[in-house]
Chain A
Amino acid sequence: MIKISIIGAGRMGITHYSIINSHPDVTVSAIADPSGLMLSMMKKYLNITTYKDYNDLFNKNCPDAVLVCTPPNLHHDILKKAAEKKIHVFVEKPYTTDFHKSKELARLFEDRGLVNQVGYVNRFNDVFSNVRLLVNDNVIGPVIRFKSEMFSGTVLKPDDGEGWRGSRKSGGGAVYEMASHAIDLINYLVGKPEKVIGSSLNFIYSKKVEDAVSSTFLYKNGSSGTIYINWSDESYRKPTNKIELFGTKGKILADQHSYKIFCNKENSKLGFRQGWNTRFITDLFQNVPFYVRGNEFTRQLYHFVDCIQNPGTKNVCSFRDGADAQEVIHKIFNDYATNGKAL
């Protein structure tokens, strides 16, 4: 049995707890959160060991692995401590708020042979993982142009800026919380850009953090693409990712539910006609053993367990991948600070 603890009992902590609790080889051993109310509820109903301070959890509970679901600015210290204690870590995205320390942290886990994973859940989505196979198989040729977009109606009222979500320093804002997904998806499908230009941020409802962001990514080989993320768009009932990839042999349009591929020539091996072909999620899905919030959420945590059980398994979204996303985020903020304002 693998002993897993959870640090942070917010929305993601609770979701991950429910999912991982269903794994036959896992026992959830403890939870740490500063909220006394949350902890006493957990203790009362789940009969689980609770800690207000994660240091106590590390010292007294000695888990094999932790799921870290705290505000992002706390990730670095928690992860460092976990590495010292030789504990495997799954951490929610964004991986850190400090780009300079993110690579060092990845190396620490690699050197100690510890499983390290970041919660960029799109990598486990049935559609996006299929799109990656198509790109890697060169079905549309080298990607020359792309577009990665995300929309949601998450922030629709003026925000007072209180709480960790109200400040960039603690990991709040549309870039860290939402664009990081779109950025990671580009890193996953196309690769990490060399240069970031034309970044702009919009403050729609939030006082201290951005609600929308757009940026252009440039590559050494001449490829380029754009991202646009807006979480104050009421026309979206639920968060939506859209991606468009253009290559010399065709084009792919994808979201979480389907992809459309235009092939310049017929591809009989994959069953694509010349022209447009649509594949829906119902053609692509693979069931998971236990479903709470979408197949990808279960798949990413079961993959984490898999990597612990089978040393040497390549992690689909390692800290190094998290550091790559962090590097791009860092470049966007720098680009905006230097060039992003009209005056």
Chain B
Amino acid sequence: MEHIDSVVFGDNQFFGINHMSQEKAQQLSEQFYDINNIYKVYELAFDAGIRAVMLNSNDRAQIICEHFRNNISRYPSLNWYPSIPYPYKYANLVAEKGIFPAINEVLFKDNSARKVMVMITKGSAAVLTKDAVKMMQLLIDVEMKMFVGLNIKVVFLQNIITDLILGFGLGDIFDEYCQYIRKKYNAIPGLITQNMPFLKKRLEEWGIKDVVICSSYNKIGYLMSPDVDSYVKASNENNPDDYQLMAMSTLASGAITAKEAYNFINQQNIQSVVFGASSKRNIDETVSLIKISN
């Protein structure tokens, strides 16, 4: 498997996401209301040597992708790590309309008439044959549309979807997802999870390899089911040729200092860290503290 970047710049800070405090989340959302402030932070990250960006497929990400596509010459060469889908879009739609009407709306919204015709044909066929795989492929294409033209390295499935499928034990669906990402997007398939040890064990049982697994990874065990020890054990036993492991929530939403956090992370058998920050000081500090080789 091609190596992934050891440091990836995340996006939670831009979209008013903070797992620890809603107040902090609101502050961030105000700070980045002006999208130019987001580009300025990206520049700080690039100045610190970061060349990889993780971005969730929400509405603002579309504008960000457009900006980077239109200004290629202004930036260094970057690797993109999209994560799909934007879960809240689906959560609200499904609550409002039900599962299948929600899928229909997502598939057919924002598409030209001609495209919709093609998709209806493909989509109805998917529904008629009860083909969840075809439906999934259509949904992936809808979510990935905004990233086309960028240099895509890994395509991640968001944890709410990964863990739902994991609970169902649907190995075939994971396998289809991975194959589709490799074939259609020429990228490495990635899975975000809050159950890394369990997911890794099941993927091994199903014979699904060459996948990037991204999970929370911090010394206090925040958002790490079932516990820290199981994570440490699973990563120690892992062969990075099979699964490259990426750590997120390394600071446990700010509960641990950066120094403490990376003292712990640097001792783990993990290949990459994704982190988000919005000040030069925090970005530079984090980059200097991460000492993992890949």
Contacts and interface: CB of A to CB of B under 8 A. Distances in A.
B256 to A, nearest CB: 8
A282 B222 contact: yes
Contacts of B127: 37
19 contacts: A10-B99, A11-B94, A14-B99, A18-B168, A19-B167, A37-B127, A45-B170, A46-B168, A155-B96, A159-B96, A163-B98, A237-B16, A238-B88, A257-B20, A257-B21, A280-B21, A282-B20, A282-B220, A292-B194
A17 interface: yes
Contact of A18 (B99, B163, B172, B227): B163
Contacts of B97: 163
A289 B195 CA distance: 8
Contacts of A290: 163, 167, 195, 198, 225-226
Contacts of A41: 130, 132
B19 interface: yes
B72 interface: no
A6 to B, nearest CB: 12
B227 A255 contact: no
B145 to A, nearest CB: 22
Q: Is the interface on chain B under 10, 10 to 19, 20 to 34, or 35 or more residues? A: 35 or more
Interface in B92-125: 92, 94-100
Contacts of A289: 225-226
Interface string A94-138: 000000000000000000000000000000000000000000000
Give me the 8 closest cross-chain CB pairs, A-B, nearest first. Answer: A18-B167, A282-B255, A291-B194, A291-B225, A292-B163, A18-B164, A40-B130, A289-B226
A90 B37 CA distance: 48
Nearest to A166: B96
Interface in A2-45: 10-11, 14-15, 17-19, 21-22, 35, 37-38, 40-41, 44-45
A73 interface: no
B189 to A, nearest CB: 19
Contacts of B240: none
A248 interface: no
Nearest to A36: B130
Contact of A280 (B88, B164, B253): B253
A288 interface: yes
Q: Is the interface on chain A under 10, 10 to 19, 20 to 34, or 35 or more residues? A: 35 or more
Interface in B55-98: 88, 91-92, 94-98
Contact of B164 (A38, A154, A238, A292): A292
A298 B194 CA distance: 13
A285 B222 contact: yes
Contacts of A298: 225
A154 B96 contact: yes
B88 to A, nearest CB: 6
A45 B22 contact: no
B173 interface: yes
Given A11-B95, A41-B132, A255-B22, A288 B226 contact: yes
Contact of B160 (A17, A35, A292): A292
B26 to A, nearest CB: 8
A165 B96 contact: yes
B216 to A, nearest CB: 10
Given A283-B255, A287-B221, A22 B170 contact: no
A298 B225 CA distance: 11
Contacts of A38: 99-100
B244 to A, nearest CB: 22
A255 B20 CA distance: 10
A289 B166 CA distance: 13
A280 B222 CA distance: 11
A240 interface: yes
B227 to A, nearest CB: 6
A275 B194 CA distance: 36
A315 interface: no
B252 A282 contact: yes
A293 interface: yes
A281 interface: yes
B168 A21 contact: yes
A41 B227 CA distance: 34
A96 B71 CA distance: 57
A22 B202 CA distance: 12
Contacts of A163: 97-98
B28 to A, nearest CB: 11
B49 interface: no
A35 B100 CA distance: 10
Interface in A224-263: 237-238, 240, 255, 257-258
Contacts of B95: 11, 154, 165
B61 to A, nearest CB: 14
Interface string B163-202: 1111111101100000000000000000000110010000
B20 A237 contact: no
A234 to B, nearest CB: 11
Nearest to A235: B26
Nearest to A16: B167
B223 interface: yes
A282 B253 contact: yes
